[in-house]
C-alpha cells in the first residue's frame, strides 16, 4: 500500500484558521473547505489512489500564488499544485494535511506572437487550446499528449509530457522557451523568454519534468511551428513483433524520421478493432502505423520507401492512406486503444516504461511470462519510434486480490524495462505510482544528488512531498540514504 | 590531476584540498572568466562506448573529440543535429573540442531554430560531483522522465557542477542534401522580416541568417525532391531576387556562420554573443549603432547576434541594456578583460541566489571551476 508522508496533527487542528488566513489572501469563494466541494479533488488521472485534501485554494494572480506559498512556507504547511488533474502517475494526489493549489483560473492565452513564433500562456490553458489559438495562421504547438483536450500546459511542463509525435518534434522540454514560476518562499522567478538560450544554468530544463516539487509555474512561453503541408500514414500488419520491430529499426537506419510511429500487439489490435471497426488486420501479431508529414513531394516519396522496407520485413498486410479520412481512420483504433481495452476488461492499469527498441521482442516475451505468473492479461501499445511502451494490465478490482496482483505485475514490468537498459517512465512521470521503484534505477548517491536539488528549491520539503522520491530526510540531515525497492531502512523515523 | 578511470577521478576529487580547473581538450579556455586552480585533465575519457545507429544513440567519453565523433556518425549517414560549432578559429585553439565540452557550453549551430541546442539532444551523463560522488543520470533511451532532468541541467554549466566522464546523445539522420537561397538585403530590419516570413511558412527552413554584405541566407535540407520543391515554393513566397547555393557552397556558407568566421573582425576584438527574441534584433543593432562602432552577423532568424568591437572599449552596459529582456555573453576577450568583466549575463537577485543553491547541491565546497561563470559561483 502507498505510504504518504505522515500527517501533521498540529496543521490539521488549525484547518479552520488556515482557511481563514487564505481567505485574506484570495477572494473568499476561491478557498474550498466543505467536504462535498473538496471531494472532486481527491484524485487525479490515477484513480487507484484517493485522498481528500485539507483545503483547496484557487488563486487568480501571480501575486496571490506568491502570497499563498509564502504563507504556507512561514507556517510549515504542505502544498500540492494541480493543473487539470489528468496525471497518470498520481502527481497531483492531495495530502490530508496539505493545501491543494488549483491553477485552473490561470486560463488565459496572454499573447500569440507569430513573428517570433511563440505564445505566452497561463499554465491552466489546455494543450489543445494553444494549437486552436494559432492554427488559423498555419501554426501549431507540437507536443500532443493523448489527454490534450483536457491537460494543461502547466501540467505538461511539470511532467515533460510527450505524445505520438515526439520522436520528430520533441518533448515539452524541447518546445518551451520561457517560464515564470513561484518558489515555496513566494519569490517569483523568470527563466528564459522569447529568446532561445538560457542565461546561466538551464533551470528551464530542470523545471520541466520536476513534477511540481520545485516551484509553481505561473506562465509559460511555448514555441509554435508551422503546420506540415500534408500528412499520410501506412497501416502495416506483421506476423511477429520481431518483424515489426525490425521494420522500425530499418526505417530509422535509412534516415527516415516519421512524424509518428506506433505499434500495437494482438490483444490491443483486437480490442481496438472491436471498438472502432476501421478494418485493422485481425490476423496480425503486430500492427504498425507509420505517419509521414511534410511537403507533399517528400511525403509521397517517403511513403514509397517505407512501403518497400515493410515488404522486405514480411508485412502481411499494408494500406496507405490516400485521403485525410483514411489517415484518421488508421489512427482511430490506436487513439481509442485505452477505452477499447476498458471495454474488454472491468479495470486496466496503464504502465509507461521506455526500453531500447531492439529489446522489444525480449521484453514482450518477458511480459508474456509475467502475465502467466500473475495470471492477468496484458495488451501493449508502443510509441515504437522512441521505445516508449504502454502495457495495459487487465484486471477486475472487484475480485479479491486482483488489484494487488496487477500492481505487482506492473512493478515487475518496470523492473524488466530497467533490466534491459530502459527506464521506469517515458512520459507519465514518477508521481506516487513509481516512486517506490526509484531505487531499482538509481543508486543511493544518484537519489541523494536529486534530493539535494530539491533542497536547493525547497528546504522544508513542503512542495508536493511524497511524490517522485521514496523517502525524504530533512535537507539539513542529508547524507547517505538507504533506499532499495522502496524498503525503508528505518520505518519508525518520521518522514515528511 | 589526470585521472584514468571514474574511480580514480572520484577518489581524487573526494580527497582534494583545493579546487580544480576542469579541462577536456582545452579548446575553449578562452571562454568564461579565468579560473586559477589546479588543472583537472579529463582528456583520458575519450572512448566511444556505444554507437547504435538504429537506436539513434551515441554514448562516449566526455572528452571524445567532436571531429572523431562526427566522422564516426558521418559513416552511418547520421549527425549531431544541433550542429556544434568549431570555435578553434575564434579562440585560436588547435581543435574543435569535445562532446562533453559542447554540452558544458550548450553549443548550437544554425539548426538551433529547428533542432535545438546540445541541451535538446543530451540523454545521459556520468561523472563526479564536487564531493567526489559518482553520479549517473539519464539512460540510453530517447524518452525518459524518471527523476529530475540532470543531464539537461548540466548543459551550459561550464564545468561548475560536475566533472563529466561520459555522455549519451541522441543522434539523427543526416539530410541527404541541402540548398541555400541567398537573398540580397541591405539592412537588418528587412532581413529579419524576410527571415520571419520564410520561417513562418511550411517550407521547413532549417537555418536563417543575415550576413551584412551577402544578404539573407535560408537553408533547406532533406531529400532531393523535397528540397527542390521547397526551393521553388520559397522563392515564390519571398517575391525577391535570389541566388541558389547548391550543396557544397551551401555547406561552406553555413560553416562560416556556425563557426562565426563569417563575422569580420580583428583577432584582438571583443566578441559578444547576444540572445534575443528574433524580432528584437534590428532594435538592438540600431540602438548600439548610435553608441559605438562594431561588426555583426545575425543567425537563428534574428535570435542570435554575433557582435565584434575593438578590444580597448567597454560596452557591456550598453549591450546588455539593448538586449534586455534577452541576454549577452562576452564570448571572447583578453584574459585580463575576462578577469574583471561580467562575462555572463548578471542575474536578478532571487535567480542568482537560486543558481548558487543549485551549485551547492552539486559542489558544496566549490571544487569545480570556481569563478568561471560568476565570481561567487
Q: Answer for the pair A383, A394: CB distance below 8 angstroms, yes or no.
A: no
As a whole-number percent, the residues of chain A with pLDDT over 90 amount to 85
| Cβ-defined contact of B222 to A257 (cutoff 8 Å) | no
Query: pLDDT per residue over B167-195, tens digit each?
Result: 999 999 999 999 999 999 999 999 999 99
C-alpha cell at A111: 499573447
Min Cα distance B310 → chain A (Å) is 24
C-alpha cell at B232: 521553388
- Residue numbers of the domain that contains B203: 177-258
Q: What is the largest CA-CA distance in chain A?
A: 71
Total domains in chain B come to: 2
| Chain B contact present for A159, CB below 8 A | yes
Query: pLDDT per residue over A216-255, tens digit each?
Result: 999 999 999 999 999 999 999 999 999 999 999 999 999 9
Claim to verify: residue B30 and residue B93 sit in the same structural domain: yes
C-alpha cell at A163: 505524445
| Chain B contact present for A134, CB below 8 A | no
Claim to verify: residue B37 and residue B155 sit in the same structural domain: yes
| Cβ-defined contact of B145 to A429 (cutoff 8 Å) | yes
Query: pLDDT per residue over B282-332, tens digit each?
Result: 999 999 999 999 999 999 999 999 999 999 899 999 999 999 999 999 999
Residue A489: per-residue pLDDT: 36
Could you tell me if residue B78 is inside a domain? Answer: yes
Is the omega angle on the peptide bond into residue B337 within 30 degrees of 0, that is, cis? Answer: no
DSSP-assigned letter for residue A259: S
Closest CA to A386 of B282, B237, B59, B57: B57
Residue A472: per-residue pLDDT: 60
Could you tell me if residue B143 is inside a domain? Answer: yes
Query: pLDDT per residue over B51-90, tens digit each?
Result: 999 999 999 999 999 999 999 999 999 999 999 999 999 9
* Closest by Cβ to A205, choosing from B144, B149, B362: B149
DSSP-assigned letter for residue A423: B
Could you tell me if residue B156 is inside a domain? Answer: yes
Residue A48: per-residue pLDDT: 83
Claim to verify: residue B213 and residue B66 sit in the same structural domain: no
DSSP-assigned letter for residue A4: P
Report the half-sphere exposure of B94 (CA within 13 A, side-chain side).
Answer: 3
| Cβ-defined contact of B143 to A198 (cutoff 8 Å) | no
A-chain residues near B233 (CB < 8 A):
295
Q: Answer for the pair B92, A146: CB distance below 8 angstroms, yes or no.
A: no
Claim to verify: residue B14 and residue B156 sit in the same structural domain: yes
Residue A406: pLDDT band (50, 70, 90) is: very high
- CA dihedral sign of residues A291, A293, A299, A302: negative
Report, in angstroms and rounded to the nearest whole number, the Rg of chain B calculated over CA atoms. 21
Query: pLDDT per residue over B84-124, tens digit each?
Result: 999 999 999 988 899 999 999 999 999 999 999 999 999 99
CATH label of the domain that carries residue B248 = 3.30.70.2190
- Give the C-alpha separation, A135 to A141, whole Å: 9
Residue A494: per-residue pLDDT: 30
Claim to verify: residue B130 and residue B233 sit in the same structural domain: no
* Closest by Cβ to A167, choosing from B135, B142, B361: B142
Cell 579556455, residue? B29
Residue A484: pLDDT band (50, 70, 90) is: very low
| Cβ-defined contact of A449 to B135 (cutoff 8 Å) | yes
Claim to verify: residue B85 and residue B21 sit in the same structural domain: yes
Q: What is the mean pLDDT of residues A264-282?
A: 95
C-alpha cell at A298: 517528400
Residue A483: pLDDT band (50, 70, 90) is: very low
Could you tell me if residue B220 is inside a domain? Answer: yes
How would you classify the pairing of strands A78-82 and A98-102? parallel
Claim to verify: residue B165 and residue B185 sit in the same structural domain: no
Q: What is the mean pLDDT of residues B149-175?
A: 97
How many CB pairs (< 8 A) connect A and B?
269
Residues near A472 by beta carbon (within 8 Å), at least 6 away in sequence: A5, A451, A454, A461, A465, A495, A496
Could you tell me if residue B328 is inside a domain? Answer: no
- Give the C-alpha separation, B80 to A385, whole Å: 18
Q: Answer for the pair A182, A188: CB distance below 8 angstroms, yes or no.
A: yes
| Chain B contact present for A253, CB below 8 A | yes
Residue A164: per-residue pLDDT: 87
Residues near A173 by beta carbon (within 8 Å), at least 6 away in sequence: A160, A205, A208, A209, B120, B149, B152
- Give the C-alpha separation, A122 to A134, whole Å: 15
A-chain residues near B141 (CB < 8 A):
354-356, 386-387, 421-423, 426
| Chain B contact present for A467, CB below 8 A | no
* Closest by Cβ to A425, choosing from B145, B276, B358: B145
Q: Answer for the pair B63, B98: CB distance below 8 angstroms, yes or no.
A: yes
Q: What is the mean pLDDT of residues A435-453?
A: 93
| Chain B contact present for A172, CB below 8 A | no
Residue A308: per-residue pLDDT: 98
Q: What is the mean pLDDT of residues A73-101?
A: 96
As a whole-number percent, the residues of chain B with pLDDT over 90 amount to 98
CATH label of the domain that carries residue B60 = 3.30.465.10
Closest CA to B105 of B199, B28, B205: B28
Q: Looking at this predicted complex, what is its ipTM?
A: 0.97
| Chain B contact present for A17, CB below 8 A | no
Q: Answer for the pair A366, A245: CB distance below 8 angstroms, yes or no.
A: no
| Cβ-defined contact of B344 to A200 (cutoff 8 Å) | yes
Min Cα distance A410 → chain B (Å) is 16
Long-range Cβ contact pairs of A277-282 (< 8 A, separation 24 or more): A278/A329, A278/A330, A278/A332, A278/A333, A279/A319, A279/A329, A280/A235, A280/A237, A280/A333, A281/A235, A281/A237, A281/A316, A281/A317
A-chain residues near B223 (CB < 8 A):
298, 301-302
Could you tell me if residue B140 is inside a domain? Answer: yes
User: For B227, which residue in chain A has the nearest alpha carbon?
Assistant: A298
Q: What is the mean pLDDT of chain A?
A: 92
How would you classify the pairing of strands A98-102 and A55-57? parallel
Claim to verify: residue B19 and residue B164 sit in the same structural domain: yes
Q: Answer for the pair A414, A434: CB distance below 8 angstroms, yes or no.
A: yes
Domain end (from B173, B197, B215) = B173
Residues 405-424 of A with CB under 8 A from B: 421-424
Could you tell me if residue B253 is inside a domain? Answer: yes
Claim to verify: residue B20 and residue B169 sit in the same structural domain: yes
Residue A487: per-residue pLDDT: 39
Min Cα distance B131 → chain A (Å) is 11
Claim to verify: residue B164 and residue B201 sit in the same structural domain: no
Helix B281-289 with B188-199: angle, nearest 10 deg = 170
CA distances from A112 to A132, A241, B373 (A): 11, 44, 34
Residue A493: pLDDT band (50, 70, 90) is: very low
| Cβ-defined contact of A452 to B362 (cutoff 8 Å) | yes
Q: Answer for the pair B209, B110: CB distance below 8 angstroms, yes or no.
A: yes
Would the pLDDT of A485 be above 60? no
B-chain residues near A295 (CB < 8 A):
202-204, 226, 229-230, 233
Q: Answer for the pair A102, A58: CB distance below 8 angstroms, yes or no.
A: yes
Could you tell me if residue B285 is inside a domain? Answer: no
Domain end (from B156, B173, B190) = B173
Min Cα distance A350 → chain B (Å) is 16
Domain end (from B233, B258, B283) = B258
Helix B281-289 with B316-323: angle, nearest 10 deg = 150
Claim to verify: residue B185 and residue B105 sit in the same structural domain: no
* Closest by Cβ to A253, choosing from B54, B139, B152: B54
| Cβ-defined contact of B139 to A203 (cutoff 8 Å) | no
Residues near B122 by beta carbon (within 8 Å), at least 6 away in sequence: B103, B138, B151, B152, B154, B155, B167, B168, B169, B170
Claim to verify: residue B88 and residue B201 sit in the same structural domain: no
**pTM of the predicted protein model:** 0.95
Helix (H, G, I), strand (E, B) or coil at B216: strand
Cell 495530502, residue? A95
Residue A473: per-residue pLDDT: 60
Min Cα distance A225 → chain B (Å) is 7
State the virtual CA torsion across A46, A52, A56, A62 in degrees, nearest 10: -30
A-chain residues near B132 (CB < 8 A):
none
Min Cα distance A88 → chain B (Å) is 13
Interface test with B, best of A143, A295, A428 (most B CBs within 10 A): A295
Query: pLDDT per residue over B232-287, tens digit each?
Result: 999 999 998 999 999 999 999 999 999 999 999 999 999 999 999 999 999 999 99
Would the pLDDT of A458 be above 60? yes
- Burial grade of A288 (CB within 10 A; 0-12, 13-18, 19 or more): buried
* Beta bridge pairs of residue A383: A262, A388
Amino acid at each position: 500500500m502507498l505510504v504518504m508522508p505522515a500527517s501533521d496533527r498540529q496543521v490539521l487542528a488549525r484547518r479552520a484558521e488556515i482557511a481563514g488566513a487564505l481567505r485574506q489572501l484570495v477572494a473568499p469563494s476561491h478557498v474550498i473547505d466543505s467536504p462535498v466541494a473538496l471531494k472532486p479533488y481527491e484524485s487525479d488521472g490515477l484513480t487507484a489512489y484517493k485522498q481528500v485534501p485539507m483545503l483547496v485554494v484557487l488563486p487568480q494572480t501571480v501575486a496571490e500564488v506568491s502570497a499563498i506559498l509564502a504563507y504556507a512556507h512561514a507556517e510549515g504547511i504542505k502544498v500540492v499544485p494541480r493543473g487539470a488533474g489528468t496525471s497518470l502517475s498520481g502527481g497531483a494526489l492531495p495530502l490530508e494535511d496539505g493545501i491543494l493549489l488549483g491553477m485552473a483560473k490561470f486560463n488565459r492565452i496572454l499573447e500569440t506572437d507569430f513573428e517570433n513564433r511563440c505564445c505566452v500562456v497561463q499554465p491552466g490553458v489546455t494543450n489543445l487550446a494553444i494549437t486552436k489559438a494559432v492554427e488559423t495562421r498555419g501554426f501549431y504547438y507540437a507536443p500532443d499528449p493523448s489527454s490534450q483536450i483536457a491537460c494543461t500546459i502547466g501540467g505538461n511542463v511539470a511532467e515533460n509530457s510527450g505524445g505520438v509525435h515526439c520522436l520528430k518534434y520533441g518533448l515539452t522540454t524541447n518546445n518551451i522557451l520561457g517560464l515564470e514560476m513561484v518558489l515555496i518562499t513566494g519569490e517569483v522567478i523568470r527563466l528564459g523568454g522569447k529568446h532561445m538560450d538560457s542565461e546561466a544554468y538551464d533551470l528551464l530544463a530542470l523545471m520541466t519534468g520536476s513534477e511540481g516539487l520545485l516551484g509553481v509555474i505561473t506562465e509559460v512561453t511555448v514555441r509554435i511551428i508551422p503546420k506540415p503541408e500534408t500528412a499520410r500514414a501506412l497501416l502495416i500488419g506483421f506476423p511477429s513483433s520481431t518483424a515489426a520491430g525490425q521494420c522500425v529499426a530499418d526505417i530509422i537506419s535509412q534516415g527516415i524520421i516519421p512524424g509518428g510511429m506506433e505499434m500495437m500487439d494482438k490483444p490491443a489490435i483486437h480490442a481496438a478493432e472491436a471498438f472502432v471497426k476501421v478494418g485493422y488486420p485481425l490476423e496480425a501479431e503486430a500492427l504498425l502505423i507509420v505517419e509521414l508529414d511534410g511537403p507533399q513531394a517528400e511525403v509521397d516519396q517517403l511513403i514509397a520507401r517505407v512501403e518497400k522496407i515493410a515488404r522486405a520485413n514480411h508485412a502481411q498486410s499494408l494500406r496507405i492512406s490516400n485521403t485525410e479520412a483514411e489517415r484518421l481512420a488508421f489512427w482511430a483504433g490506436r487513439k481509442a486503444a485505452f477505452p477499447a481495452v476498458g471495454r474488454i476488461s472491468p479495470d486496466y492499469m496503464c504502465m509507461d516504461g521506455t526500453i531500447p527498441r531492439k529489446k522489444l521482442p525480449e521484453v514482450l516475451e518477458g511480459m508474456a511470462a509475467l502475465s502467466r505468473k500473475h495470471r492477468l492479461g496484458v495488451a501493449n501499445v508502443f510509441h515504437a519510434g522512441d521505445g516508449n511502451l504502454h502495457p495495459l494490465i487487465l484486471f477486475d478490482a472487484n475480485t479479491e486480490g486482483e488489484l494487488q496482483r496487477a500492481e505487482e505485475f506492473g512493478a515487475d514490468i518496470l523492473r524488466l524495462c530497467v533490466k534491459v537498459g530502459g527506464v521506469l517512465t517515458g512520459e507519465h512521470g514518477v508521481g506516487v505510482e513509481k516512486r517506490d521503484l526509484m531505487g531499482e534505477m538509481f543508486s543511493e548517491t544518484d537519489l541523494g544528488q536529486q534530493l539535494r536539488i530539491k533542497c536547493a528549491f525547497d528546504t522544508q520539503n513542503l512542495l508536493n512531498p511524497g511524490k517522485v522520491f521514496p523517502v525524504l530526510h530533512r535537507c539539513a540531515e542529508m547524507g547517505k540514504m538507504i533506499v532499495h525497492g522502496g524498503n525503508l531502512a528505518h520505518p519508525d523515523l518520521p518522514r515528511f | 590531476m589526470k585521472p584514468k578511470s571514474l574511480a580514480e577521478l572520484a577518489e581524487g576529487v573526494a580527497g582534494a584540498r583545493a579546487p580544480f580547473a576542469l579541462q577536456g581538450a582545452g579548446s575553449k579556455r578562452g571562454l568564461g572568466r579565468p579560473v586559477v586552480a589546479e588543472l583537472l585533465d579529463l582528456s583520458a575519457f575519450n572512448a566511444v562506448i556505444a554507437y547504435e545507429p538504429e537506436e539513434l544513440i551515441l554514448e562516449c567519453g566526455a572528452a571524445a573529440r567532436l571531429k572523431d565523433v562526427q566522422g564516426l556518425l558521418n559513416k552511418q549517414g547520421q549527425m549531431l543535429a544541433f550542429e556544434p560549432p568549431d570555435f578553434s578559429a575564434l579562440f585560436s585553439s588547435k581543435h574543435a573540442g569535445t562532446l562533453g565540452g559542447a554540452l558544458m557550453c550548450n553549443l548550437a549551430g544554425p539548426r538551433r531554430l529547428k533542432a535545438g541546442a546540445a541541451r535538446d539532444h543530451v540523454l545521459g551523463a556520468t561523472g563526479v560531483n564536487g564531493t567526489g560522488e559518482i553520479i549517473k543520470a539519464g539512460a540510453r533511451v530517447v524518452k525518459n522522465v524518471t527523476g529530475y532532468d540532470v543531464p539537461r541541467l548540466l548543459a551550459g554549466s561550464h564545468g561548475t557542477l560536475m566533472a563529466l566522464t561520459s555522455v549519451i546523445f541522441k543522434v539523427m539522420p543526416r539530410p541527404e542534401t541541402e540548398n541555400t537561397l541567398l537573398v540580397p538585403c541591405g539592412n537588418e530590419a528587412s532581413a529579419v522580416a524576410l527571415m520571419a516570413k520564410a520561417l513562418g511558412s511550411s517550407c521547413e527552413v532549417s537555418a536563417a541568417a543575415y550576413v551584412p554584405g551577402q544578404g539573407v541566407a535560408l537553408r533547406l535540407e532533406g531529400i532531393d525532391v523535397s528540397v527542390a520543391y521547397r526551393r521553388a515554393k520559397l522563392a515564390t513566397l519571398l517575391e525577391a531576387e535570389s541566388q541558389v547555393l547548391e550543396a557544397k557552397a551551401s555547406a561552406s556558407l553555413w560553416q562560416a556562420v556556425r563557426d562565426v568566421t563569417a563575422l569580420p573582425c580583428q583577432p584582438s576584438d571583443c566578441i559578444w554573443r547576444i540572445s534575443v527574441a528574433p524580432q528584437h534584433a534590428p532594435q538592438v543593432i540600431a540602438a548600439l549603432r548610435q553608441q559605438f562602432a562594431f561588426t555583426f552577423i545575425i543567425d537563428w532568424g534574428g535570435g542570435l547576434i554575433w557582435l565584434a568591437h575593438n578590444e580597448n572599449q567597454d560596452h557591456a552596459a550598453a549591450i546588455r541594456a539593448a538586449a534586455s529582456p534577452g541576454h549577452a555573453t562576452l564570448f571572447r576577450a583578453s584574459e585580463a578583460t575576462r578577469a574583471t568583466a561580467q562575462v555572463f549575463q548578471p542575474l536578478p537577485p532571487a535567480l542568482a541566489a537560486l543558481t548558487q543553491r543549485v551549485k551547492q547541491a552539486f559542489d558544496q565546497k566549490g571544487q569545480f571551476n570556481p569563478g568561471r561563470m560568476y565570481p561567487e559561483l
